Amino acid sequence: MSPQADPIPAPRRYKEGAPTVVVAEDDPAVLDILVRALGNTYTVYAAVNGSDALDLLARLPAPHAVVLDVMMPGTDGVAIARRLKDDPERRHVPVVLLTALSAPRDVVSGINAGARHYVTKPFKLVDLLAKIEKAVKAK
């Protein structure tokens, strides 16, 4: 996932000097909540499906954290997490998986793919924000 010549898209929310977080979520309501909440602390880039997330991640410098919905059109969040971990320039980027899948095998699959945190829906926003903050600080 090396950066391409295409220009970097504008973030959905910008906070000068703040760490960058990329959010990929196909539910518009959840995406809006995440962008608004994260935008108070971070510069936030958003993607509405897995393919857009991969394109965005290829064009941006390595973000401070990535929040990925697991079940998205195009490439799913687990596959994106694996690709990040296989990329020498982005393997250190903390990944938070957000999903309705809560079976133990799903959690294990997500963690094995490289997720630092696995959060199930419905989620408490304050808990998710704490996990993202922890992930950003650990980077």
Cα–Cα distance measured from residue 66 to residue 95, given in angstroms and rounded to the nearest whole number: 5
Domains, the chain, in order of start with CATH, read 20-138 (3.40.50.2300)
Neighbours of 38 (CB within 10 A): 26
pLDDT at 139 over 80: no
pLDDT in tens, 2-48: 544 567 778 888 888 999 999 999 999 999 999 999 999 999 999 99
Tokens 């998710």 identify what position?
128
pLDDT in tens, 94-112: 999 999 988 899 999 999 9
pLDDT at 90 over 70: yes
End-to-end CA distance of the chain: 19
* Res 5: pLDDT: 52
